């Protein structure tokens, strides 16, 4: 393992690779740093995406040392499907769909959860806790089962029970919490602190989890034949997926694999868009007041952790990227398009990215090639 420390994204203070959720000095988000010189470009450059591969192929760039602690259900290694029909209808030439439904639990959450659960196991925890709007719950339950760990999950009371059925089958304890996602977030945090369990909530809270998200960038690089795309359009709740993918590309630039960085687009729903609102208005991120959208997977009001959204806005501005929001009717139309034109069954939160792309094409912010 070449991970060296945790570093504050705001004040640069360093911490050892232990259980830390925020900077002690400034409460900033922590992220993992590596000895990139020692790693070299080999782990990415020489890794071909092939069926059956998983994120641990990039273990040199992941923050777990103990091989016995690494838990895997063959997450990651998802196909990059070239869009034919949708691309034709939208009049663009090169549209690719990274099909994250092919992960063990059906969503990309398996990437951050696999890393966070492995780290928890390495640090000696027997119980993991998360707040989730559904997909994180399904993911954590199967990884906790595989790792033989106990698992407690806090979900908003409005979470579709179909989404937590899988978690129940895997033996997770599900606790329904009144109110929106931010209430569940707080419950998970307080419970983990009280009982000293590891909190693996896939916001920016657990610095190990978004290390899993960055593997999407490594895979894209390989799948584009050692090149990076111009744009990556990503649905965003609190935004660790956006941030993680961006970090992956930054690391590859640092490793000398690419000079170019793709521009990132963070997509939210009109009914919950704290990040897009701040980006558009040039203001600080403030908590979203009233969540009202079908895209439950990306509906995070950020109440109590507005700084997480701030980090995403800062990252997007520096990257030349965008944050934008789409209304529910366009999200549902995009979901329909993905199903009818590409044969991909995506939930609203995922389809939001296609709705956003459609807007970007209409606004001429993306070239047809
Ligand atoms: C969690 C989730 C998102 C949002 O990702 P964040 O990293 O929380 O911003 C988007 N789409 C789906 C399907 C999700 O499950
Ligand atoms: Zn700090």
Q: How many CA atoms within 13 Å lie on the side-chain side of 327?
A: 2
The dihedrals phi and psi of 6, each to the nearest 5 degrees, come to: -100, 140
Contact 341, 89 (CB under 8 A): yes
> What letter does residue 29 receive in the DSSP assignment?
P
167 three-state secondary structure: helix
Pocket test for ligand 1, best of 100, 104, 132, 135 (most atoms within 8 A of CB): 135
| Atom of ligand 1 lying closest to residue 244 CA | 7
Q: How far is the CA of 23 from the centre of ligand 2 (A)?
A: 5
Q: Which of 4, 2, 31 is nearest to 16 (CA)?
A: 4
Question: Which residues make Cβ contacts (< 8 Å) with residue 178, sequence separation at least 6?
Answer: 157
Q: Is 212 in the pocket of ligand 1 (CB under 6 A)?
A: no
Average pLDDT, the chain: 94
What confidence category does residue 47 fall into, taking pLDDT thresholds of 50, 70 and 90? low
Q: For residues 163 and 37, what is the distance between their CA atoms, to the nearest angstrom?
A: 43
Q: Can you give the pLDDT at residue 145?
A: 97
Q: How far is the CA of 185 from the centre of ligand 2 (A)?
A: 21
Q: Is 107 in the pocket of ligand 1 (CB under 6 A)?
A: yes
Distances (CA, A) of 271 to 155, 161, 312: 19, 22, 19
Q: pLDDT tens for residues 282-296? A: 999 999 999 999 999
Q: For residues 182 and 184, what is the distance between their CA atoms, to the nearest angstrom?
A: 5
Q: Is 244 in the pocket of ligand 1 (CB under 6 A)?
A: no
Is the pLDDT confidence value at 108 over 80? yes
Q: Which of 109, 118, 126, 108 is nearest to 72 (CA)?
A: 118
Q: Is 23 in the pocket of ligand 1 (CB under 6 A)?
A: no
- Which tokens hold the place of 277? 């609102």
- Which tokens hold the place of 22? 């925020």
Q: pLDDT tens for residues 130-175? A: 999 889 999 999 999 999 999 999 999 988 778 788 899 999 999 9
309 three-state secondary structure: helix
Q: Is 205 in the pocket of ligand 1 (CB under 6 A)?
A: no
**What does R_g of the chain's alpha carbons equal in angstroms?**
19
Q: pLDDT tens for residues 13-41? A: 999 999 999 999 999 999 999 999 998 88
Q: Can you give the pLDDT at residue 166?
A: 85
Q: How far is the CA of 47 from the centre of ligand 1 (A)?
A: 26
In angstroms, how far is the first alpha carbon of the chain from the final one?
40
Q: Is 335 in the pocket of ligand 1 (CB under 6 A)?
A: no
Q: How far is the CA of 67 from the centre of ligand 1 (A)?
A: 28
Q: pLDDT tens for residues 49-71? A: 555 578 999 999 999 999 999 99
Q: Can you give the pLDDT at residue 40?
A: 87
- Count of CB atoms situated within 10 Å of the CB of 360: 18
Q: Is 198 in the pocket of ligand 1 (CB under 6 A)?
A: no
Question: Which residues make Cβ contacts (< 8 Å) with residue 108, sequence separation at least 6?
Answer: 78, 100, 213, 216, 241
Protein residue whose Cα sits closest to atom 1 of ligand 1: 297
Q: pLDDT tens for residues 228-243? A: 999 999 999 999 999 9
324 three-state secondary structure: strand
The dihedrals phi and psi of 43, each to the nearest 5 degrees, come to: -55, -30
Protein residue whose Cα sits closest to atom 2 of ligand 1: 297
Q: Can you give the pLDDT at residue 50?
A: 59
Q: Provide the whole-model pTM.
A: 0.91
Q: How far is the CA of 203 from the centre of ligand 1 (A)?
A: 9
Q: Can you give the pLDDT at residue 51?
A: 52
Q: How far is the CA of 149 from the centre of ligand 2 (A)?
A: 31
């Amino acid at each position: 393992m070449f991970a060296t420390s945790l570093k504050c994204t705001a004040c640069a203070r360093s911490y050892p690779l232990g259980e830390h959720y925020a900077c002690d000095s400034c409460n900033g988000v922590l992220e993992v740093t590596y000895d990139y010189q020692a790693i070299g470009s080999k782990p990415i450059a020489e890794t071909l995406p092939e069926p059956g591969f998983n994120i641990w192929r990039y273990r040199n760039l992941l923050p777990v040392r103990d091989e016995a602690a690494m838990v895997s259900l063959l997450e990651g290694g998802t196909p990059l499907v070239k869009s034919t029909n949708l691309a034709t209808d939208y009049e663009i030439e090169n549209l690719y769909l990274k099909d994250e439904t092919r992960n063990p639990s059906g969503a990309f959450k398996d990437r951050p959860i696999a890393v966070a659960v492995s780290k928890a196991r390495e640090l000696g925890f027997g119980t993991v806790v998360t707040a989730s709007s559904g997909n994180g719950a399904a993911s954590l339950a199967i990884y906790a089962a595989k790792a033989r760990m106990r698992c407690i999950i806090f979900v908003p009371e409005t979470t579709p029970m179909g989404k937590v059925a899988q978690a129940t089958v895997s033996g997770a304890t599900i606790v329904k919490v009144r109110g929106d996602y931010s209430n569940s977030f707080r419950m998970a945090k307080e419970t983990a602190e009280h009982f000293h369990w590891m909190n693996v909530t896939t916001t920016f809270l657990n610095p190990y989890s978004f290390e899993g998200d960055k593997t999407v960038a490594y895979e894209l690089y390989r799948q584009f034949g050692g090149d990076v795309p111009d744009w990556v359009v990503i649905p965003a709740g609190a935004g660790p997926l956006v941030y993680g993918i961006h970090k992956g590309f930054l690391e590859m630039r640092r490793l000398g694999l690419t000079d170019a960085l793709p521009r990132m687009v963070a997509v939210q729903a009109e009914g919950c868009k704290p990040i897009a609102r701040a980006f558009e208005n040039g203001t600080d991120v403030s908590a979203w007041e009233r969540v009202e959208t079908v895209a439950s997977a990306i509906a995070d009001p950020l109440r109590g952790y507005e700084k997480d959204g701030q980090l995403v806005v800062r990252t997007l501005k520096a990257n030349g990227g965008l944050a934008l929001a789409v209304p529910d009717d366009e999200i549902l139309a995009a979901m329909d398009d993905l199903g009818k034109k590409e044969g991909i069954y995506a939930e609203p939160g995922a389809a939001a990215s296609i709705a956003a792309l459609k807007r970007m094409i209409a606004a001429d912010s993306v070239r047809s090639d």
